[in-house]
Amino acid sequence: MAKRIGFIGVGLMGYGPARLLLEAGYPLTLLGHRNRTPVDDLVGRGAQEAANAADLARNADVIITCVTSSAIMESLVNGEQGILAGAHDGQILIDMTTADPQSTQDLAAALAEKGVRMIDAPMSRTPREAREGRLNLLIGGDAADIDEVEPILSVFSENRFRAGPLGSGHTVKLVNNALSLGHAALAAEAAATCEAAGVDPQVLYDIVTAGGADSKMFRMVMPAALEGRTDGLEFTLQNARKDYGYYLKSARDAGCVPMTTQAVHQLFELAMAQGKGDEYVPYLYRLLQGWRTK
């Protein structure tokens, strides 16, 4: 019999995996989301909706969480009607949130007291790949636990990278995001500089994409300069600021000195201060257009 799955977080990135699990025949219970559209769609496809996280946990063998921060995860697990209130021995919790590795370790310790095992499996790629079942998963945890849920993870992922023990998935995801978002920030600044200096950004695009500075992130950000679109990368500036904050904390916890990334983080902080947190990352180009000394 297929394992019963409880899914929390059927938003931009979580909807696709939840739908694909339903289509693969897994019994699915989900927790309501502030956007009712994906919830109603999944219920219409046969999913059940839980009243709260405790109710969801009581009726699941595997719990998958896909939320936006460690603070939300902590509330989901430890709240009065949280996962711990309904947890039972033998369960596995798969956290696909981009999260603080130390928080993950703390949650795992609390869950272990109820006999619940935890792995971290944050996602990379975009909502399109999430809908198509082609996510990359960066996985940390006990090898036997990962083996047990491999058939579930394979339903909605193309590549699964085992990073090491619990928390390693979240650590490497933060490093990956620091790199990719750093590329995005540099691309936006480069395009804004060309435009300010009277050079057509299309020239920059042609040169970069023909040479060693090219990247997928560069190509996602440049439509903001070339076509006036900011939807090339469906990732909000608010989430970028959050992930960079987690990265900086993890780097310092490891004894590193995060120099370049601190500057990038300040760019996202400035975007938030201007009330642009809900804009997608390519909007950085427009922000930088307005930040000139003359």
Residues 91 and 78 in one domain: yes
Q: What is the CATH number for 248?
A: 1.10.1040.10
Same domain, 148 and 186: no
Same domain, 149 and 178: no
Q: Look at residues 135, 151, 166 and tell me which one is the last residue of a structural domain.
A: 166
Domain that holds residue 26: 5-166
Helix (H) or strand (E) segment spanning residue 208: helix 201-208
Residues 146 and 182 in one domain: no
Q: How far apart are CA 257 and CA 261, in angstroms?
A: 10
Residues 31 and 156 in one domain: yes
pLDDT of 198-241, one tens digit each? 999 999 999 999 999 999 999 999 999 999 999 888 899 999 99
The 10s digit of each residue's pLDDT in 115-151 is 999 999 999 988 899 999 999 999 999 999 999 999 9
Q: Are residues 113 and 194 in the same domain?
A: no
Are 10 and 152 within one domain? Answer: yes
User: pLDDT at position 234, please?
Assistant: 86
Q: Inform me whether the pLDDT recorded for 1 exceeds 80.
A: no
- Long-range contacts of the stretch 73-76 (C-beta < 8 A, 24+): 73/97, 73/99, 73/103, 73/104, 73/107, 74/103, 74/107, 76/8
What CATH number should be reported for the domain holding residue 121? 3.40.50.720
Per-residue confidence at 34, pLDDT binned at 50, 70, 90? Answer: confident
191 and 119, same structural domain? no
Co-location of 160 and 186 in the same domain: no
pLDDT band at 108 (very low <50, low <70, confident <90, very high): very high
The predicted pLDDT at position 182 comes to 96
Residue of 239, 264, 236 whose CA lies nearest to 69:
239
How close are the terminal C-alpha atoms of the chain, in Å?
67
CA distances from 246 to 3, 9, 121, 154 (A): 33, 20, 16, 27
Q: What is the pLDDT of residues 158-196, one digit of tens each?
A: 999 999 999 999 999 999 999 999 999 999 999 999 999
Asked whether residue 18 falls in the same domain as residue 160, the answer is: yes
Q: Report the domain count for the chain.
A: 2
Same domain, 282 and 185: yes
Candidates 153, 116, 170; CA nearest to 24 is 153
Question: What integer best gives the mean pLDDT of the chain?
Answer: 95
- 158 and 15 within one domain: yes
